[in-house]
Amino acid sequence: MQDLAIKSGSLVAPRHLAIIMDGNGRWAQMRGKQRVFGHKEGANAVRRVITASAKMGVKELTLFAFSSENWKRPKLEVSALMTLFSEYIKKEANALKENGIRTRIVGDKTKFSKSLQEQISKVEELTKDCNVMQLNIAANYGGRWDILDAFKQIITKNSQGLLNLNELNEDLVSQNLCVPSDVDLMIRTGGEKRISNFLLWQAAYAELYFSNTLWPDYDEDDLKEAFQFFSTRERRFGMTSAQVQNKDPNNAN
Ligand code: IPE
Ligand code: IPE
Ligand code: MG
């Protein structure tokens, strides 16, 4: 649907793009290196994709950096990922601001070290007035956690008299998620075809695109390929094709 997307040349860019950045470990192992080497290289792809997305007209980009389940990985890999994450935020904060990227880290942040939580608050504060693109970095994020947390917030607001449970509807659930807006296009790199507990509620009507490119190799051309796919989709949201083309949800075709 045109109103959900922004035109960039002949390509239609999704308003909200979500990416499962997968394949770092395999990228490193193929080169006979430790998995962490792939995560380091992956940080360069993050920078490339943020720049390319903003340039092509994406208004909101949600990147899956670390899942609630990734704590199960070897201790050394987890601590290397935390260090890289903290370094990345510190190093990129000024460039994000200069490029107008409003940055939020979404997920259960209570599990992070105090210093990482401080880094996170700093970049969020620094970029809060930026308006070129909204960037959500999902860290210690899980779709089920997000939905559960929304319900906990709703119950708390109800007990404080701020919300009446009779008013509970889908919009209210969305508003209480850490990423409230629906995803238009979800990309997974690295060849796997699953969504691994990412944005479960928000991806209800997302177009899904699976790329074999391993994340550290992902670049603007890969992104264009995904947007090419997105540009050819007819997003029907339950309607018939004729209804969508007439742009009249009440017609009797
Ligand atoms: C994605 O790459 C990064 C994180 C999950 C943190 P992987 O580390 O999962 O790479 P593969 O899938 O093992 O190649
Ligand atoms: C999903 O990748 C999480 C991130 C990209 C951060 P995984 O590599 O952890 O997913 P599974 O475990 O293979 O499904
Ligand atoms: Mg993986």
Confidence of residue 251 (pLDDT cuts 50, 70, 90): low
Dist CA 102 CA 96 (whole Å):
7
pLDDT in tens, 131-171: 999 999 999 999 999 999 999 999 999 999 999 999 999 99
CB contact at 8 A, 50 and 102: no
Q: What are the boundaries of each domain within the chain?
A: 5-246
Is 58 close to ligand 2, i.e. is its CB under 6 Å away?
no
- The amino acid at residue 233 is R
70 is known as an active-site residue: yes
- Residue 45 CA, ligand 2 centroid: distance in Å: 17
Superfamily per CATH, domain 5-246: Decaprenyl diphosphate synthase-like (3.40.1180.10)
Q: What is the pLDDT of residues 208-244, one digit of tens each?
A: 999 999 999 999 999 999 999 999 999 999 999 999 9
22 is catalytic: yes
